[in-house]
Chain A
């Protein structure tokens, strides 16, 4: 009976670690989606305002930091005439902890990039 208990214990721990390991795969992907959503909303503002204002840049930076992203670097067209190209590139690092083996964890740094081009909109009266 003790044999069975030990085997059950080890397998149970291994299985839980494995399941947690699998769930952790979702973390960076969901972080990238969150980043894309914030950057997309900044891009929409850029389209309407014709560029990336300092206020919007600061707001975006704050939101990126709030998401736990570090080394945030935002580059965007500051002004474009109607019909002109607008570019927004956001680079950031996401540091998270994940299982490296069944009983150990390690910090991993993932570099996330949002790079899109759009055109300054014409708002028709």
Chain B
């Protein structure tokens, strides 16, 4: 009761001497501080986090693409082993087609941590089975255009693989809303055959 009395007394005193205006000022400052917290939190949640998440995800996807590209390039190079040595003596460059796919799958599965049927092992960058969309060896008739539109002027191996990769953070949430679990990353690599002339 004493407290209430003194509160009333202070209010009455304040009313008479401009104290209410002072109290209103304090309330306003506290309100502004709370408003600042809300603004900064909103800034972090709705601006900084999504921007960083988007940049970081792009960076991660680019890194995964680099890993896959590296593995595909190694697999392309390995296909050289399927070059028909018999025809080389006739200055013709041909591939042993039965060997091409075998060597390619074997090296690709080793470098991407896949099983023989191109399904992923535990620590693979791929989240589901990898598919080889095209694998072509170009040995003559240059210039030729590969299925992805790139002009090839020298003996080369063209390959296109689809690797399902899982995005993180926000993109994963967006993807799950559409009922999908992975992004299908298409990696196209044309590797020149090293001819020593």
**Which residues of A does B touch, CB under 8 Å?**
1, 3-4, 7-8, 11, 14-15, 18-19, 22, 25-26, 29, 32-33, 36, 40, 43, 47, 83, 116-119, 121-125
Residue of B nearest to A119 (CB): B78
Residues of A with C-beta under 8 A to B93: 124
**A124 and B88 in contact (CB under 8 A), knowing A1-B29, A4-B32, A15-B40?**
yes
A7, A14, A116: which contacts B33 (Cβ < 8 A)?
A7
What is the distance, in angstroms, from A112's C-beta to the closest C-beta of chain B? 13
A/B interface sample: 16 pairs, CB < 8 A? A1-B29, A11-B37, A15-B44, A15-B48, A25-B56, A26-B56, A29-B60, A32-B63, A47-B77, A118-B78, A119-B77, A119-B80, A119-B81, A123-B196, A124-B88, A124-B93
Residues of A with C-beta under 8 A to B59: 26, 29
Residues of A with C-beta under 8 A to B195: 123-124
Tell me the chain B residues, 43-93 only, with Cβ under 8 Å from chain A: 43-44, 48, 52, 56, 59-60, 63, 66-67, 70-71, 74, 77-78, 80-81, 83, 88, 93
Please, how many angstroms separate the alpha-carbon atoms of A3 and B77 in the complex? 66
B194 within 8 A of A: yes
What is the distance, in angstroms, from B82's C-beta to the closest C-beta of chain A? 9
Please, how many angstroms separate the alpha-carbon atoms of A116 and B81 in the complex? 17
Number of interface residues of B (CB under 8 A): 36
What is the distance, in angstroms, from B186's C-beta to the closest C-beta of chain A? 21
A1, A4, A29, A83: which contacts B63 (Cβ < 8 A)?
A29
Main secondary structure, interface of A, reads helix
Please, how many angstroms separate the alpha-carbon atoms of A121 and B52 in the complex? 42
**A121 and B60 in contact (CB under 8 A), knowing A4-B29, A7-B33, A15-B48?**
no
Query: Are the CB atoms of A3 and B29 closer together than 8 Å?
Result: yes
Query: Are the CB atoms of A117 and B107 closer together than 8 Å?
Result: yes
Please, how many angstroms separate the alpha-carbon atoms of A7 and B52 in the complex? 24
Query: Are the CB atoms of A3 and B33 closer together than 8 Å?
Result: yes
What is the distance, in angstroms, from A92's C-beta to the closest C-beta of chain B? 17
Query: Are the CB atoms of A124 and B194 closer together than 8 Å?
Result: yes
Query: Are the CB atoms of A121 and B66 closer together than 8 Å?
Result: no
What is the distance, in angstroms, from B94's C-beta to the closest C-beta of chain A? 12
B37, B40, B194, B197: which contacts A121 (Cβ < 8 A)?
B194
Please, how many angstroms separate the alpha-carbon atoms of A34 and B43 in the complex? 33
What is the distance, in angstroms, from B23's C-beta to the closest C-beta of chain A? 14
B131 within 8 A of A: no
B36, B63, B70, B80: which contacts A40 (Cβ < 8 A)?
B70
Query: Are the CB atoms of B88 and A118 closer together than 8 Å?
Result: no
B193 within 8 A of A: yes
Residues of A with C-beta under 8 A to B74: 43, 116-118
Query: Are the CB atoms of A116 and B111 closer together than 8 Å?
Result: yes
Query: Are the CB atoms of A83 and B48 closer together than 8 Å?
Result: no
Residue of B nearest to A84 (CB): B81
What is the distance, in angstroms, from A37's C-beta to the closest C-beta of chain B? 9
